[in-house]
Amino acid sequence: MLILSRKESERIYLGDDVVLTIVRIQGDKVRIGVEAPSDVRILRRELDDQTIEASRFPEGLRVSSSDQTRGTGRGLSERRRAA
Confidence band, pLDDT 50/70/90 cuts, at residue 11: very high
Distance (Å, whole) CA 5 – CA 37: 25
- Sign of the dihedral defined by the CA atoms of residues 49, 52, 56, 58, in that order: positive
The two beta strands, 18-26 and 11-14, are: antiparallel
Answer yes or no: pTM beyond 0.75: no
Distance (Å, whole) CA 36 – CA 20: 9
Longest dimension (CA), the chain: 55
Each residue of 22-75: pLDDT tens digit?
Answer: 999 999 999 999 999 999 988 887 776 766 666 666 565 555 554 444 444 444
